[in-house]
Amino acid sequence: MALIELTDVVKTFPGPHGTTKIAVDGVSLSVERGDCLGVIGESGSGKSTLGRLLLRLYDVDSGSVVLDGQDISRLSKREMRRHRRHWQIVFQEPFASLNPRLTIGQIVEEPLIVAGDYGNRAARRERVIATLAEVGLPPEFLDRRPANLSGGQQQRVGIARALVTDPSIIVLDEPTASLDLTIRASVLRVLNRLREARGLTYVFISHDIETVRHFCSDVVVMHQGRFVEGGPALEVLDAPREEYTRNLMGAAMPPIPYQGRAADPDALDSVSGAS
């Protein structure tokens, strides 16, 4: 069974004057363990809503979201809190998603406290230090605050916070969109290395087609809350079947030449233009 299974998922929001806005309109998909699914589409196509439905930050109107065999729409809030450690999210704006009043050590420790059973303070601190090291931040960062970090460092903290509970699935919602081009490549390399080392499964939401081409094993294209097409990333992006996808790719920035897939860290440099 796939690690992530969505079946006929619908999500609406109240619109103006008593209308209803359909953000996700009957989406079904499955993601195998260890894969990276890229979700691309124009702004407003439903990508972020889909990402939030995956972690039950929103409830579905209908349909089912099954993660690792668990239908998460049937879990109580308490059960969901218990499971949350397995399924995490990294947001687009690192600074906005980090509590400015807390130190980096406290921010990364927080999910361990919420989850409840990660030992005493010393054990948690050790785990926080080890996780920060995995994203390339030495222990000196423990007592700093988000405002004293660069954008790339802030996003590494966001990744460490998602990683600290040892999840199997991470939803990455435009994790590099707010970063400078040179920093983007280093953050993508960290994410790629972690996926391989930990066997993580990613859902990578992005409007940046070139990054998805390098970073993801598979891709789905969304338009107005629906799937246009999907499949292996190189197949879909090199030979789109649907006119919508061809137009979307034509409207994207001209591609930067690249030499390989995400397994080759240098390929990620070419995404950003970093040397």
Q: Which parts of this chain interact with ligand ADP (CB under 6 A)? A: 13, 21, 23, 41, 43-49
Please state the closest distance from residue 204 (CB atom) to ligand ADP, in A: 13
The burial class, CB within 10 Å (0-12 / 13-18 / 19+), for 254 is exposed
Q: How many CB atoms lie within 10 A of CB 8?
A: 12
- Specify the residue, 41 or 240, whose C-beta has the smaller distance to ligand ADP: 41
- Specify the residue, 59 or 79, whose C-beta has the smaller distance to ligand ADP: 59
- Specify the residue, 48 or 201, whose C-beta has the smaller distance to ligand ADP: 48
- Specify the residue, 179 or 194, whose C-beta has the smaller distance to ligand ADP: 179
- Specify the residue, 44 or 63, whose C-beta has the smaller distance to ligand ADP: 44
Please state the closest distance from residue 83 (CB atom) to ligand ADP, in A: 23
Please state the closest distance from residue 252 (CB atom) to ligand ADP, in A: 15
Please state the closest distance from residue 10 (CB atom) to ligand ADP, in A: 12
- Specify the residue, 47 or 127, whose C-beta has the smaller distance to ligand ADP: 47
Q: Among residues 116, 27, 33, 24, which one has the least CA distance to residue 69?
A: 33
Please state the closest distance from residue 221 (CB atom) to ligand ADP, in A: 11
Please state the closest distance from residue 139 (CB atom) to ligand ADP, in A: 36
